Structures are given as C-alpha cells and as structure tokens.
Amino acid sequence: MQSIIIGSDHAGFTLKEAIRKRFSSNFEFTDKGTFSSDSVDYPDYAHAVAGEVEAGKFTFGILLCGSANGVAITANRHNGVRAAICWMPEIAELARKHNNANIICIPARFVSDETAFLMIEKFFSTEFEGGRHQKRIDKINCV
C-alpha cells in the first residue's frame, strides 16, 4: 500500500477527512493535521507535509486549504517539491504527466468531494512523461 502524507488548514479539514475515509484501502495516510475545523495558519501544515516530501520520507502528498493558493505557495518553497493547484481531474493528470508534481493542492471551498476524489485518482494513477518535460523541470529550483 502506498504511503501518502496529507495536511490541511481549517477550510480543508472536512474534505481531508472525506479523502482519508474514501481512500483508506488505497493509501496509508500520515496525517499532519489540522485535526478540527478550528481556525489555524495554513503554512504550519503545508511546511509539515512539504518538509517530509523534500526530505524523501514521502514521494507524494496532498494539501488542502480554502483556495489551495496558500498551501501551494508555501509547499513550493521547499526544494524538490512541485505542488500543483488542481481543480479538475484533467489538471491533476497534466500536473503529473507534464510537471512531475509530487503534491496535489486542492481548493476545498471550490470543489466537490466527488471532484476531489476524481482528481486524486487521476493524480496517483498518472505517470510522469519525462522527455522534453524533464529538461523544464530541471530549470525550476533556484538553488
């Protein structure tokens, strides 16, 4: 079973819990929080998830917040992390196929549970194409 690290702020909490329940037989989740819908600061959870991906402890992660912008901006500060905001399955597929994204960022206030589930299925079943896309990815990190 594939191990996935997941985290969210308060806006993504309910959807995070639905994802964990829906995919419990597909993935072994390490949940970095938050653990309620009480207001929290999204960078705390985005750093917790992205730091583990950056360190190589996890290959893939899932982050959620209201718009997905905050967690994506924060996660992408980590070397080797390619966190992609996805709002439909086709975007999730391209994020993997062309960008070799390793964290899917979901805007919990703007997608249905079903759309989120479809995006996760697409994200985790799509392989990176490599080739011309690899040379572009090699240009991303600044360090």
Q: Give the Cα separation of 104 and 128 in Å (integer).
A: 14
- Residue reference for tokens 């196929």: 97
- Whether the Cβ atoms of residue 85 and residue 72 lie closer than 8 Å to each other: yes
Q: Please state at what angle helix 13-22 crosses helix 113-125, rounded to 10 degrees.
A: 60
Among residues 47, 78, 86, 98, the one annotated as catalytic is 98
86 is a catalytic site residue:
no
Specify the residue for token string 């998830």: 49
65 in catalytic set = yes
The active-site residue out of 65, 78, 86, 105 is: 65
Which residues are known to be catalytic?
A: 65, 98
